[in-house]
């Protein structure tokens, strides 16, 4: 009997095999680290790990790569290739296209990407993968009670509704035939293995036993972080809120920097002073390759990636579906502010450098984040299309992104793209730096020397200090690069605005929790307490310091400037 439990504290568990569905940036490190850890639970030999990857045109090749001992993850991922190779050589890691391989697994990790569609989750790929998992588990050996753990980001209530009912509809009743848990991955491309090992991780479930089981398993790979046990809906809220609140703080910086840039105020001096007053500082003002974690975050050409643009909408999904008023939502308002950033970058450029129409411009960096090939929701590509719309002759460059990249093709930019740096800059009058790739940081002088027609540089990613462009040619415009030190009164105005925004988010989240608990917390164990959300979000390594709910003072303006997020917080 691989799992028998009398209570959440009294159980016998045998783990003979682990399966991982979806060897992407979440599943591949998890599979390799569990295999490498030699998990011996209730048996005298390590549990082998089987990766399942459907035989799709774009990803089916990963099975062969893994079985040859190679990680299918692109970019630079320290430590991952080594543990994949070692585990495959030891016969403890393998891969297959066949989903029925999960039938005899005692633990199944589901690491399939989720997305948004309109104002709700897009679970298409996830549910497609669960068809195979449920069919296989229906034929599982008698008496097995497999544990299925979702590492994917899920909209609050999904575990208790969509996921639970999917398995129940196939004869697998949660708590009797199967245990359903979730542990949303806090992945960071470029640090995949390190993040799993060192970051705190939330482990959750629908049944009280489940977090205990996941914690016991994950304690073998999360060796420097802390495992926090809770229920599924709390984990769903914390994960989506971490990203939503990050999006809000970037939006508050974006609104503030637009005012600063119009009045030649040094935004970064302001940011560092305000964060010091908030006791939420970081080193990101001086380092374009830092992962910002302070209170006020860093305003750039825009917010891309697969997470921040979608998770606030996932958090609001059930409330929007029920028709709740969204007009005063800071989380949804922040999305609008951040989506304006590419256009705001062009406005800054034209204010400083004159009209761009008809000029040859190069967009430097197609990826949404530095030293990465990932173009999902990349603001650089939005900027490129806006520049085309203004009659510019546009080239898009990136050292990592592939010419056949799906988003380049989808947005009609493949014909404007090159990996050749010299070709990208040779004819350009203006260079827009959108992604802080190391090639741009290290090769500035050589690169500018290859641009004989260069008139100006626009810095949209905190890449270059203004002092590096003092000679007057090329001209320089940088987001946040005003030259006047902020007054003490303006610092105080911005700090007070930040505290209004953080209070506004707290009030908004408290309202969402009341809604979710009323409609989706079936039993006491499933309820979400704001204090738990605050405590668990505070374990996010990139900073998520939530305020407590409370009253917000009426919004005031500074010489006519009132951030819309502050107005929303005061109005809510
Ligand atoms: N960005 C800014 N200013 C900032 C920080 C980021 O403009 O101060 C932009 C970036 O340029 C990028 C986008 O926002 O375009 C997202 O950047 P990110 O640093 O949030 O990186 P992601 O989206 O790859 O990872 C996020 C992280 N979430 C949090 O830090 C709360 C990561 O920890 C999560 O694991 C990941 O989402 C996820 O999988 O949810």
**Comparing C-alpha atoms, which of 539, 550, 570, 544 is closest to residue 248?**
544
Which band of pLDDT confidence, cut at 50, 70 and 90, is reported for residue 1? Answer: low
Query: What is the mean pLDDT of the segment spanning 332-349?
Result: 98
For the Cβ of 243 lying below 6 angstroms from any atom of ligand 1, the answer is yes
Distance (Å, rounded) from C-alpha 149 to C-alpha 15? Answer: 14
For position 107, what pLDDT does the model report?
Answer: 98
Q: What is the pLDDT of residues 132-170, one digit of tens each?
A: 999 999 988 877 899 999 999 999 999 999 999 999 999
Distance from residue 308's CA to the centre of ligand 1 (Å): 6
For the Cβ of 294 lying below 6 angstroms from any atom of ligand 1, the answer is no
Query: What is the mean pLDDT of the segment spanning 422-439?
Result: 97
Helix (H, G, I), strand (E, B) or coil at 133: helix
| The ligand 1 atom nearest the CA atom of 153 | 40
Query: What is the mean pLDDT of the segment spanning 530-542?
Result: 97
Question: How high does pLDDT run on average in the chain?
Answer: 95
Helix (H, G, I), strand (E, B) or coil at 391: coil
Pick the residue whose CA is nearest to atom 39 on ligand 1: 187
Would you say 22 and 111 are in contact if contact means Cβ atoms under 8 Å apart? yes
| The ligand 1 atom nearest the CA atom of 544 | 31
Q: Which residues of 426-435 are buried (b: 16+ CB within 10 A; e: fewer)?
A: bebbbbbbbb
For the Cβ of 482 lying below 6 angstroms from any atom of ligand 1, the answer is no
For the Cβ of 334 lying below 6 angstroms from any atom of ligand 1, the answer is no
Crossing angle of the two packed helices 267-278 and 232-262, in degrees rounded to 10 = 140
| The ligand 1 atom nearest the CA atom of 239 | 40
Q: What share of the chain is helix, strand, coil (3-state, %, to 5)?
A: 40, 15, 45
310, with CB counted inside 10 A (0-12, 13-18, 19+), is buried
Lowest-confidence range among 7-11, 68-72, 261-265?
A: 7-11
Query: What is the mean pLDDT of the segment spanning 361-371?
Result: 95
Q: What is the pLDDT of residues 85-125, one digit of tens each?
A: 999 999 999 999 999 999 999 999 999 999 999 999 999 99
Crossing angle of the two packed helices 341-353 and 232-262, in degrees rounded to 10 = 10
120-126: which pairs have CB atoms within 8 A and are 24 or more residues apart?
120/155, 120/313, 120/317, 120/320, 120/321, 121/154, 121/155, 121/158, 121/314, 121/317, 123/158, 123/162, 126/152
Distance from residue 63's CA to the centre of ligand 1 (Å): 29
Query: What is the mean pLDDT of the segment spanning 479-495?
Result: 98
Backbone φ and ψ of 166, nearest 5°: -60, -45
For the Cβ of 291 lying below 6 angstroms from any atom of ligand 1, the answer is yes
Query: What is the mean pLDDT of the segment spanning 554-562?
Result: 95
For the Cβ of 374 lying below 6 angstroms from any atom of ligand 1, the answer is no
For position 572, what pLDDT does the model report?
Answer: 67
Query: What is the mean pLDDT of the segment spanning 432-459?
Result: 93
Is pLDDT of 297 > 70? Answer: yes
Distance (Å, rounded) from C-alpha 346 to C-alpha 327? Answer: 28
Is pLDDT of 6 > 90? Answer: no
Probe residue for ligand 1, chosen from 246, 306, 342 as the CB with the greatest number of ligand atoms within 8 Å? 246
Pick the residue whose CA is nearest to atom 19 on ligand 1: 291
Pick the residue whose CA is nearest to atom 40 on ligand 1: 307
For position 447, what pLDDT does the model report?
Answer: 87
Helix (H, G, I), strand (E, B) or coil at 148: strand
| The ligand 1 atom nearest the CA atom of 247 | 14
**Comparing C-alpha atoms, which of 24, 41, 568 is closest to residue 325?**
568
Which band of pLDDT confidence, cut at 50, 70 and 90, is reported for residue 348? Answer: very high
**Comparing C-alpha atoms, which of 435, 330, 450, 423 is closest to residue 382?**
435
For position 187, what pLDDT does the model report?
Answer: 87
Is pLDDT of 196 > 90? Answer: yes
Probe residue for ligand 1, chosen from 77, 153, 201, 243 as the CB with the greatest number of ligand atoms within 8 Å? 243
Distance from residue 568's CA to the centre of ligand 1 (Å): 24
Probe residue for ligand 1, chosen from 184, 192, 307 as the CB with the greatest number of ligand atoms within 8 Å? 307
**Comparing C-alpha atoms, which of 555, 549, 545 is closest to residue 505?**
549
For position 144, what pLDDT does the model report?
Answer: 82
Q: What is the pLDDT of residues 456-467, one digit of tens each?
A: 999 999 999 999
For position 400, what pLDDT does the model report?
Answer: 92
E runs forming strands in 183-226: 201-205
Measure Cα distances from 193 to 189, 196, 199, 215, 221 in Å: 9, 5, 10, 18, 9
Which band of pLDDT confidence, cut at 50, 70 and 90, is reported for residue 7? Answer: confident
Distance from residue 305's CA to the centre of ligand 1 (Å): 7
Distance from residue 435's CA to the centre of ligand 1 (Å): 13
pTM beyond cutoff 0.85: yes
Q: What is the pLDDT of residues 388-428, one digit of tens each?
A: 999 999 999 999 999 999 999 999 999 999 999 999 999 99
For the Cβ of 542 lying below 6 angstroms from any atom of ligand 1, the answer is yes
Which band of pLDDT confidence, cut at 50, 70 and 90, is reported for residue 371? Answer: confident
Report cis status (omega within 30 of 0) of the bond before 545.
no
First to last CA, the chain: 54
For position 444, what pLDDT does the model report?
Answer: 87
For the Cβ of 304 lying below 6 angstroms from any atom of ligand 1, the answer is yes
For position 11, what pLDDT does the model report?
Answer: 85
């Amino acid at each position: 009997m691989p799992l028998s439990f009398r209570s959440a504290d009294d159980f016998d568990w045998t783990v003979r095999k682990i399966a991982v569905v979806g060897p992407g940036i979440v599943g591949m490190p998890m599979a390799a680290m569990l295999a490498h850890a030699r998990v011996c639970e209730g048996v005298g030999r390590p549990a082998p790990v089987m990766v399942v990857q459907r035989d799709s045109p774009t990803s089916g090749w990963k099975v062969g790569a893994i079985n040859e001992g190679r990680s299918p993850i692109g970019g630079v991922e320290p430590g991952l290739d080594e543990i994949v190779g070692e585990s495959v050589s030891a016969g403890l890691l393998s891969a297959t296209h066949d989903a029925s391989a999960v039938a005899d697994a005692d633990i199944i990790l589901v690491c399939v990407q989720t997305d948004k569609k309109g104002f709700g989750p897009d679970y298409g790929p996830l549910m497609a993968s669960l068809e195979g998992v449920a069919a296989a588990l229906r034929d599982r050996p008698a008496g097995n009670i497999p544990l299925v753990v979702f590492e994917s980001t899920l909209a609050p209530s999904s575990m208790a509704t969509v996921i639970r009912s999917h398995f129940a509809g196939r004869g697998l009743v949660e708590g009797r035939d199967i245990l359903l848990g979730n542990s949303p991955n806090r992945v960071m491309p470029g640090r995949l293995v390190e993040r799993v090992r060192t970051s705190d991780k939330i482990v959750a479930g629908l049944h009280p036993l489940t977090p205990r089981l996941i914690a016991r398993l994950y304690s073998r790979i999360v060796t420097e972080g802390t495992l926090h046990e809770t229920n599924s809906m709390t984990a769903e809220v914390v994960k989506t809120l971490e990203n939503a609140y990050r999006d809000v703080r970037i939006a508050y910086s974006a609104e503030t920097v637009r005012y600063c840039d119009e009045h030649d105020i040094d935004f970064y001096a302001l940011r560092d002073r305000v964060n010091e007053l908030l006791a939420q500082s970081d080193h990101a003002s001086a380092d374009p390759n830092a992962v910002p974690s302070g209170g006020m975050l860093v305003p750039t050409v825009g917010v891309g990636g697969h997470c921040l643009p979608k998770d606030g909408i996932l958090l609001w999904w059930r409330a929007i579906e029920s028709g709740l008023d969204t007009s005063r939502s800071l989380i949804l308002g922040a999305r609008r502010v951040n989506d304006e950033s590419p256009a705001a970058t062009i406005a800054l450029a034209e204010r400083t450098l004159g009209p761009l129409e008809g000029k040859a411009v190069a967009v430097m960096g197609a990826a949404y984040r530095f030293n990465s090939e990932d173009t999902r929701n990349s603001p650089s590509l939005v900027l490129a299309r806006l520049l085309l719309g203004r009659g510019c002759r546009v080239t898009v460059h990136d050292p990592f992104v592939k010419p056949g990249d799906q988003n380049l093709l989808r947005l009609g930019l493949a014909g404007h793209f090159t990996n050749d740096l010299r070709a990208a800059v040779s004819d350009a009058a203006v260079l827009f730096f959108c992604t802080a790739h190391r090639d741009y940081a290290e090769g500035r002088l050589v690169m500018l020397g290859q641009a004989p027609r260069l008139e100006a540089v626009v810095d949209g990613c905190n890449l270059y200090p203004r002092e590096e462009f003092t000679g007057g040619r090329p001209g320089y415009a940088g987001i946040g690069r005003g030259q006047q030190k902020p007054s003490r009164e303006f610092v105080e105005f911005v700090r007070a605005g930040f505290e209004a925004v953080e209070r506004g988010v707290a009030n908004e989240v408290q309202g969402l929790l009341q809604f979710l608990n009323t409609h989706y917390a079936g039993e006491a164990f499933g309820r979400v307490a704001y204090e738990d959300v605050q405590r668990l979000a505070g374990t996010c390594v990139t900073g998520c310091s939530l305020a407590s709910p409370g009253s917000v003072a009426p919004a005031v303006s500074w010489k006519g400037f009132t951030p819309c997020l502050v107005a929303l917080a005061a109005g809510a």
